[in-house]
Amino acid sequence: MKLLALLATLEVCCAAGRHPEHRLHLHSAPEHGSVLELGGTSSSAAEQQSSSSSNTGSGKPSGTSISSSIIPVFADLGGSYEPHWLHEVVLSGVREECGVSLKLERREDLAALFPTHGGVLVATGGLGPGEEQLLRELPLQQTQRMVLLHLSDESNSHNTGIYERFGAVYRNYYRSNVNQSMSYLSLEEGSSEPGHARELKAGSSANVFWMPLGYGMRLLKNPSLMTPAASRPLLFSWSGSTSGKEDRIKMLQALREAPDVLERGFLDKFDNFNAGGKDTPSSYTAMLYNSSIIPCPRGIHAEQFRIWEALEVGALPVVLDEDQHSHLERIGLRLPKVKSWAALPEFLREWGQPEMAGKLDTLSAELHDSWRLLKTRLRKHVGKTVCALAMGD
């Protein structure tokens, strides 16, 4: 009950302390036909400085202007769980790179409005049969000026054969059977970023890029709420569904068998994702910003919003030591791991000791900085790609 009272207080503080740019319409999206004003308005000053470091002193975009001042984005953002991630990060680099605006169009209007000069298709839930047929019927030189954002293939069951019809593809949820054709934006110093936009070869399998899931719309970003990880009132927290998700059930069982650890954290279990738990967006945000450590047991897929949301708020995500997270190490993102979820209580006991505070603060800050760098590289990479394909040869 103490922790519930604490979270109720934190929720009020979170809602009241939000900056104007974070007052999001959580269950709505930009209107179709409207011009999306992108450019990282919700990014931190450090992120904006990093993303603009290659621009000229005049403040003009670093890329080359293209003949059309508008690039269409075909999407149903109302059906997406991550509209703010797409708006604030993934697509915000286009204006920075070539000075054009993005115009949101209905996904259902793709056939009627299919562009000749390039565009973006946001395929939440994969491509439908009608969309695939359209892409196969249109001239290849026209479809390969498009960029596909393939979202929500959590079960790794969507058709990837259609990728060849696009100039470039960005997809979340790591998928092993397209592993050899997927590229990664590395965080390692001195590494070269694969698939630089000006070197794109339309239709090449090397133009399939994995990108992080990012943050969901339950997270109301507010950097002013971020404090050093070790000073936060909750040692850990977790909120999620458990139906058919064995790892999560094992984690909850292990925590319930460790009352000394359980009393230092907060759990919100619900059976079905769509039903949700006790948390509202404000309380979910308060829970994350006030937690030192966020366990991340897999759901349907090992990748999940929880990993990236923990990094966004400066908490320490903990994952299971398994091959499904190997792609994170390939990009230089090395998260703390446990051998099994039965070992989580001991991990929390160790990291919750006062003498571990400095190490906890250092590691969480380093991972937060790595995440910030990855967002910047993703934003610039997508921007360069969309602009290069729109400019054509």
Taking only the tens place, the pLDDT of each residue in 195-206 is 333 333 444 455
What is d(CA 84, CA 285) in angstroms, rounded to the nearest whole number? 15
Does 21 fall in a domain? no
**pLDDT value at residue 248:** 94
Q: Is 30 within the bounds of a domain?
A: yes
Are 209 and 287 in a shared domain? no
CB 309 within 8 A of CB 237: no
Which residue, among 138, 113, 129, 128, has the nearest Cα to 33 in the 3D structure? Answer: 113
The pLDDT value recorded for residue 268 is: 87
Examine residue 172 and state whether it is found in any structural domain, yes or no. yes
**End-to-end alpha carbon distance in the chain:** 64
Question: What's the rounded Cα separation, in Å, for the pair 351 and 347?
Answer: 6
Question: Does residue 20 form part of some domain?
Answer: no
Shared-domain flag, residues 243 and 256: yes
345's tokens: 């209580």
- Of 80, 382, 47, nearest in space to 209 by CA: 382
pTM for the full model? 0.81
Q: In what order do the strands lie in the sheet with 291-295?
A: 265-270, 234-241, 291-295, 316-320, 337-338
3-state class (DSSP) for residue 150: strand
Domain count, the chain: 2
Same domain, 71 and 139: yes
Residue 205 exposed, middle or buried by CB count within 10 Å (0-12, 13-18, 19+): middle
Phi, psi dihedrals of residue 63, rounded to the nearest 5°: -85, -175
Six-digit token string for 364: 């969480």
Contact 113, 140 (CB under 8 A): no
Q: Is 83 exposed, middle or buried (0-12, 13-18, 19+ CB in 10 A)?
A: buried
Residue closest to 96 by CA, chosen among 30, 152, 52: 52
Burial of 53 (0-12, 13-18, 19+ CB in 10 A): exposed
The domain that holds 253 is classified in CATH as 3.40.50.2000
Mark whether 328 and 195 lie in a shared domain: no
Q: Which residues contact 214 (CB under 8 A, 6 or more apart)?
A: 82, 85, 86, 89, 90, 172, 305, 308
Assess if residue 309 is contained within a domain: yes
Token reading at 389: 């394909």
Identify whether 16 is part of a domain: no
| In a shared domain, residues 163 and 266 | no
Q: Which residues pair with 265 in a beta bridge?
A: 236
Residue 138 has pLDDT above 90, yes or no: yes
Mean pLDDT along residues 24-30: 39
Tens-place pLDDT, residues 241-256? 888 889 999 999 999 9
Q: How confident is the model at residue 62 (pLDDT cuts 50, 70, 90)?
A: very low
- Residue 142 in tokens: 């026209």
Same domain, 362 and 379: no
pLDDT of residue 37: 53
Longest dimension (CA), the chain: 64
Residue 53 and residue 194 in one domain: yes
> In this predicted structure, which of 56-60, 177-181, 190-194, 257-261 has the lowest mean pLDDT?
56-60
Q: What is the pLDDT of residues 286-311, one digit of tens each?
A: 999 999 999 999 888 888 899 999 99
Instruction: Supply the range of the domain harboring residue 90.
Output: 26-216+375-391
DSSP letter for 294, please: E
Give the mean model confidence (pLDDT) for residues 259-282. 77
- For the segment 331-350, the average pLDDT, to the nearest whole number, is 94
With respect to residue 386, please indicate whether it lies within any of the assigned structural domains.
Answer: yes
Q: Tell me if 308 sits within 8 A of 331, measured CB to CB.
A: no
| Beta-carbon count within 10 A of 32 CB | 18
315 occurs within a structural domain = yes
170 and 228 co-located in one domain: no
Query: Are 205 and 236 within one domain?
Result: no
Q: Nearest-CA neighbor of 310 among 223, 224, 215, 210?
A: 215
Which is it for strands 168-171 and 234-241: parallel, antiparallel or unpaired?
unpaired
Residues 198 and 82 in one domain: yes
Which residues does residue 72 pair with via DSSP β-bridges, in sequence order? 103
391: amino acid identity, one letter: M
**CA pair distance 315, 294, nearest whole angstrom:** 7
Cα–Cα separations (whole angstroms), residue 138 to 68, 71, 388? 21, 19, 20
pLDDT at 265: 97
A 10 A CB-CB count for 191 gives 12
Looking at the structure, tell me whether residues 212 and 167 fall in a common domain: yes
Residue 230 has pLDDT above 60, yes or no: yes
Average pLDDT of the segment spanning 72-97: 89
What's the whole-number mean pLDDT along residues 163-169? Answer: 91
346 and 383 together in one domain: no
Beta bridge partners of 132: none
Task: Please give the backbone phi and psi of residue 33, each rounded to the nearest 5 degrees, phi first.
Answer: 90, -10
